[in-house]
């Protein structure tokens, strides 16, 4: 099991004394007994990713916020400050395997913000990311197996809460499938889709749990 420390990059940026952008970027720093060299590689990956995200906030997003603030003379009514929040969640940490997802929320005006999710599953022995295919050893055409299981879960959810998915969800879950959009938990493999991929905004980010074959082996089939 790995020990995790939280690192943060944050700031509030102003334009003519008006706070136009606030950002906070949380990212992990790992300690491990599996391979310190692998941990160094993984820590570098997240540090660089956080630095690039901060640079985007301080340049592109700040510029957009300033342009929007310029349309409000004398800050009346008060300008709704742009926001950016990146937060990670460790959902599996056992042996030398860690799985986490990161939600990046941004608000740039309008009725509500938007959240984009990404995820990584790491082998801390080798310092490499684990691919989705590795949970389906020897299974040809595994995506279709996933789609069928997800369809069944959607059907069950629609019985309890109608209109929580778009009517053409069967086609959408195939068209919008991305093999990197997964993480693992002790309960199993979790496949997720982005906002609006399968469902209205109010439904959030759809998640579908595919149980492991047994609790000791993170394999599906």
Question: Would you list the DSSP string of 147-173?
Answer: HHHHHHHHHHHHHHSTTSS-TTHHHHH
Position 198 pLDDT exceeds 80: yes
Tell me, yes or no, whether 104 and 43 share the same domain.
Answer: yes
Query: Residue 199's CB: how many other CB atoms inside 10 A?
Result: 20
* CATH number where 165 lies: 3.90.640.20
Which has the closest alpha carbon to 135: 178, 183, 167? 183
Supply the range of the domain harboring residue 192.
132-211
Tell me, yes or no, whether 124 and 138 share the same domain.
Answer: no
Tell me, yes or no, whether 8 and 106 share the same domain.
Answer: yes
Tell me, yes or no, whether 11 and 107 share the same domain.
Answer: yes
Q: Which of 69, 99, 129 is the last residue of a domain?
A: 129
Q: H or E stretch including 202?
A: none
Tell me, yes or no, whether 58 and 110 share the same domain.
Answer: yes
In a domain, 218, yes or no: no
* pLDDT (tens digit per residue) in 8-58: 999 999 998 899 999 999 999 999 999 999 999 999 999 999 999 999 999
Position 219 pLDDT exceeds 70: no
Q: Are 101 and 89 in contact (CB under 8 A)?
A: yes
- pLDDT top residue among 70 and 55: 55
Tell me, yes or no, whether 117 and 197 share the same domain.
Answer: no
Rounded percentage of the chain residues whose pLDDT exceeds 90: 84
Tell me, yes or no, whether 197 and 143 share the same domain.
Answer: yes
Tell me, yes or no, whether 195 and 124 share the same domain.
Answer: no
Tell me, yes or no, whether 101 and 178 share the same domain.
Answer: no
In a domain, 155, yes or no: yes
Q: Are 124 and 111 in contact (CB under 8 A)?
A: no
Average model confidence (pLDDT) for the chain?
Answer: 93
Number of domains in the chain: 2
* pLDDT (tens digit per residue) in 126-181: 999 999 999 988 888 889 999 999 999 999 999 999 999 999 999 999 999 999 99
In a domain, 125, yes or no: yes
> How many Å apart are CA 41 and CA 22, to the nearest integer?
29
Tell me, yes or no, whether 66 and 145 share the same domain.
Answer: no
Tell me, yes or no, whether 110 and 165 share the same domain.
Answer: no
* CATH number where 94 lies: 3.30.565.40
Q: Which of 129, 161, 177 is the last residue of a domain?
A: 129
Tell me, yes or no, whether 156 and 185 share the same domain.
Answer: yes
């Amino acid at each position: 099991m790995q020990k995790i420390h939280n690192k943060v990059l944050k700031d509030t940026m102003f334009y003519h004394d008006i706070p136009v952008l606030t950002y906070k970027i949380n990212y992990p720093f790992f300690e491990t007994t599996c391979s310190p060299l692998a941990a160094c590689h993984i820590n570098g990956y997240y540090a660089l990713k956080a630095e690039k995200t901060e640079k985007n906030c301080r340049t592109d997003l700040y510029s957009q916020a300033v342009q929007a603030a310029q349309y409000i003379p004398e800050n009346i009514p008060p300008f709704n400050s742009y926001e950016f929040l990146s937060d990670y969640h460790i959902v599996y940490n056992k042996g030398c395997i860690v799985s986490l997802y990161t939600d990046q929320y941004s608000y740039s005006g309008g009725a509500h913000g938007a959240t984009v999710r990404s995820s990584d599953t790491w082998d801390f022995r080798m310092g490499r990311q684990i691919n989705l295919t590795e949970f389906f050893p020897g299974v040809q055409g595994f995506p279709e197996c996933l789609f069928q299981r997800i369809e069944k879960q959607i059907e069950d959810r629609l019985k309890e809460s109608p209109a929580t998915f778009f009517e053409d969800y069967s086609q959408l879950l195939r068209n919008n499938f991305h093999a990197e959009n997964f993480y693992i938990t002790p309960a199993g493999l979790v496949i997720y889709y982005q906002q609006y991929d399968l469902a209205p905004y109010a439904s959030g980010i759809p998640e579908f749990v595919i149980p492991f074959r047994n609790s000791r082996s993170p394999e599906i089939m």
